[in-house]
Amino acid sequence: MGDQEQAYVREAFATNWIAPLGPHVEAFERELAAYAGCEGAAALSSGTAAIHLALRLAGVGPGDDVFVSSLTFVASVNPILYQGANPVLIDSDEESWNMSANALKRAFEDAVRNGRLPKAVVVVNLYGQSADMDPILTLCGRYGVPVIEDAAESLGATYKGRKSGTLGDYGIYSFNGNKIITTSGGGMLVSNDTAALERARHWATQAREPAAHYEHTQIGYNYRLSNVLAGVGRGQLEVLDDRVEARRAVFARYERELGGLDGFRFMPEAPYGRSTRWLTTLTVDPAEAGVTAGDLIAALGEANIEARPVWKPMHRQPLLQVYRYYPHEERDSVSDRLFEQGLCLPSGSSMTERDQDRVIECLFARIKGWRYRHESA
C-alpha cells in the first residue's frame, strides 16, 4: 500500500461516501476502462462476481454447456454451477499454459455432432500471461459463441499489443489480496458493450427498480464494490505498471539463478504478448533434477518460506470429475503434467534481493543435499 491509496480512503471517510456507490467507484471504473482500452467497466465485490454476471449476460442458464479452462482456480468454474450449467473442461497448451486451441477445436466438433453448442467459453489467463486468443476467438466466432476472458491473474499483460481481458465479449479482473494490485477484495467486469454493463450494474445492486419503494422484477445480487475499496483500487492502479516491472524483475532473477539447473523449466513467455509474471512458476522434472516439486516445497516450508504447486486441474477435483474433459492431444494432458511438476515461488512486488537469496539458497541446499547423498550411494 502507498500514500495515494490512503489519501483516497481519507477522502471517502471525509465525504461520508462509505456505501457501495460514490465518486471513487465511478472514477475507478473510468480509469480502469481507460487503462485497459475498452468502453466501460463495472466495479464489483470480486472477480467471481464478475464471471457470474458475464455468464448471465451471455444467456447461460440451467442445463447449458460452458467450455472453460481446466488449469485454473475453482472460482473460474463455480459461477457456471451457480447458473445450473455444465462446465466442459479444456486442457492447456505448452506454449502459454493456457487454453489449448487444439482441445477447444475437438470440443466444438463434438458439440456440433451432438447438436449441443456451448452458451459461452471462459478462457483463463494464468500466472500473468494471456492465452493465444486469435485461434480461440476464430473458433468461437465460427460458432457464434461469446467469449468471457478470465483475466483475474493477468491485469497489465498484453496480447499482440492489446490489454489482456479486452479480447473477448466480456473480461474480468480480480483485486483480491494476492493479485498484482488489490482492494483487499474486489473485481471488475469490462466490455465494449456499455448497455450490457448497465444491466450488470443493475443486477449487482439487488436489481432494484427506480421506484421510491423497493421494487424488484428480476433476481439480483449484492455484488457492488464499496467507495472505500474503490479508493484503494484507484491508488493501486496508479502504480500497476511499476508492479508489473517489479514482478518481471523478480522472475528474471530467479530464472538467471536457477534456469541452468537440470530439470528446471520456467513458464515460457509466449511470443505473441508480454506477461506480468504475476507469479514465478516453473516445472521440475524429477528424472533430471533428482528432486520433485513437492520436495522443494517441503524444504522451503521448513525454512518458513511459502511455496505452492500450480493449480490442481479442475478435471481432477472431486467436485468436477463428473464433467467432460478435453486434453491437449488425445493422449497428452498438459495440465496434468504441469500440476505434477509445477512449482510457484514467492513473487511479491516488494520482494528484496535478500528475500530472493533466501529462497534461492534454500533450493540450492536441497538439491545439493540430494546430489551428495546420490553420489555417495
Using the structure block, give the residue that is written with the C-alpha cell 450488470.
Answer: 200
User: Using CA atoms, how far apart are residues 2 and 346, in angstroms rounded to an integer?
Assistant: 21
Q: Which of 105, 160, 163, 179 is catalytic?
A: 179
What is each CA distance from 174 to 39, 195, 289, in whole angstroms? 18, 22, 35
| Cell numbers that stand for 1 in this block | 500500500
| Predicted pLDDT at 18 | 75
CATH 3.40.50.10790 matches 3-240: no
* Cα–Cα distance for residue pair 218/53, rounded to 1 Å: 13
Give residue 377's pLDDT band: very low, low, confident or very high (50, 70, 90).
Answer: very low
Confidence bin at 19 (pLDDT 50/70/90): confident
Residues 79-98: what's their mean pLDDT? Answer: 98
In degrees, rounded to 5, the angle at the alpha carbon of residue 185 between the alpha carbons of residues 60 and 52 is 0
Q: What are 375's three cell numbers?
A: 553420489
| Pair type for strands 120-124 and 86-90 | unpaired
Lowest mean pLDDT across 5-19, 75-89, 292-306, 355-369: 5-19
C-beta of residue 119 within 8 angstroms of C-beta of residue 64: yes
Rounded CA gap, 161 and 272, in Å?
A: 9
pLDDT at 16: 81
At residue 369, the pLDDT reads 58
Select 241-376's CATH number: 3.90.1150.10, 3.40.50.1110, 2.40.50.140, 3.30.70.270. Answer: 3.90.1150.10
pLDDT higher than threshold 70 for residue 170? yes
Q: What is the pLDDT of residues 222-269, one digit of tens each?
A: 999 999 999 999 999 999 999 999 999 999 999 999 999 999 999 999
Residue 205 is predicted with a pLDDT of 95
pLDDT at 154 over 70: yes
Contacts of 180 (CB under 8 A, 6+ apart): 128, 155, 156, 240, 243, 244, 247, 276, 278, 349
User: 350-354 — which CB contacts under 8 Å span 24+ positions?
Assistant: 350/246, 351/246, 351/250, 353/253
Contact between residue 121 and residue 130 where contact means Cβ atoms under 8 Å apart:
no
Per DSSP, the three-state class of 294 is helix
Q: How far apart are CA 320 and CA 212, in angstroms?
A: 44
Longest dimension (CA), the chain: 82
Closest CA to 369 of 308, 315, 299: 299
Burial letters 146-171, b for 16+ CB under 10 A, else e: bbbbbbbbbbbbbbeeebbbbbbbbb
Quick one: DSSP state of residue 220? Answer: -
- The answer to which of 63-77, 220-234, 304-318, 361-375 has the lowest mean pLDDT is 361-375
Interacting residues of 263 by C-beta distance below 8 A, sequence separation 6+: 284, 285, 286, 287, 288, 289, 290
The per-residue pLDDT for range 341-366, each reduced to its tens digit, is: 999 999 999 999 999 999 999 999 99
Tell me the CA distances in angstroms from 34 to 31, 223, 294, one per residue in order.
Answer: 5, 22, 42
**One-letter amino acid identity for 92?**
S
Q: Taking 80 as the threshold, does the pLDDT of residue 86 lie above it?
A: yes
Nearest to 73 by CA among 337, 345, 335: 335
List the 162-163 sheet strands across, edge first: 162-163, 158-159, 273-274
Q: Which three cell numbers stand for residue 327?
A: 486434453
Sign of CA dihedral 307, 313, 314, 315: negative
Q: Look at residues 377, 188, 370 and name the one whose alpha carbon lies nearest to residue 292.
A: 370
Mean of per-residue pLDDT scores for the chain: 94
Task: Determine whether 179 is an active site residue.
Answer: yes
DSSP 322-335: TS-EE-SBTTB-HH
* Domain boundary assignment for the chain: 3-240, 241-376
**Mean pLDDT, residues 24-41 taken together:** 97
Angle formed by the axes of helices 101-113 and 133-143, nearest 10°: 10
